[in-house]
Amino acid sequence: MIAVLGKGRVGGTLAAALAKAGHEVSVADSTPGAAAEAAQQAQIVINATPGADSLERLAALREQLRGKILVDVSNATTEGPDGLPAGLLYPGSSLAEHLQDALPDTSVVKSLNTMLYSVMTAPASLTQPPTAFLSGQDPQAKQTVKRLLMDLGWRPEWITDLGGIETARATEAAVLFVPHVIRADGFAPFALSIAR
């Protein structure tokens, strides 16, 4: 069972694609009761809640998330006047690191946070291959998440394991590209890609 926390565009898109790929999926909004129940029943939990509030919401689920894999796809940012990201909420660190510190018995894996949400479940729709990054302390958990990404259409060669959870600082900082890309090109699907 996979629980997706967050019923917005990101959570809804991921939940629909994972269900289509054959996974049993539950979706919970960010209310404490619904999130706790969903997390309790799942083996894998995907954090698709707004990054600015994620730490507080998920730290409250410490018991329910014990022994689980938490896939964090959120970016914690401050908002500019246009509603787009203006800065990092955790400069010099990352949301993923704060989540791992708050949830020591949970394997946090950061991924899918360097692209427009539509690309998360349709990577082949871009004109060139995107890159999905993995950051986390638990190699086995990262392998599980890699298999999930492959179920969403990601080819193995498009997935790069960056190493420990501290590497999420780099991918979370990439969100600072987003407002400029959107202002230049609109909301056309895009993703970061490592060209080799």
**DSSP of 97-127:** HHHHHH-TTSEEEE-S-SB-HHHHT-GGGSS
pTM exceeding 0.85: yes
Residue 110: strand pairing partners: 72, 135
- Select from 3.10.350.10, 3.40.190.10, 3.40.50.720, 1.10.600.10 the CATH code of 2-185: 3.40.50.720
List, for residues 4-22, the tens digit of each pLDDT value: 999 999 999 999 999 999 9
- Tell me the C-alpha distance between 86 and 176, whole Å: 7
- pLDDT tens, residue by residue, 180-189: 998 898 889 9
**Which residue's entry shows tokens 């890309």?**
181
Domain ranges within the chain, ordered by starting residue: 2-185
Mean pLDDT of 72-82: 94
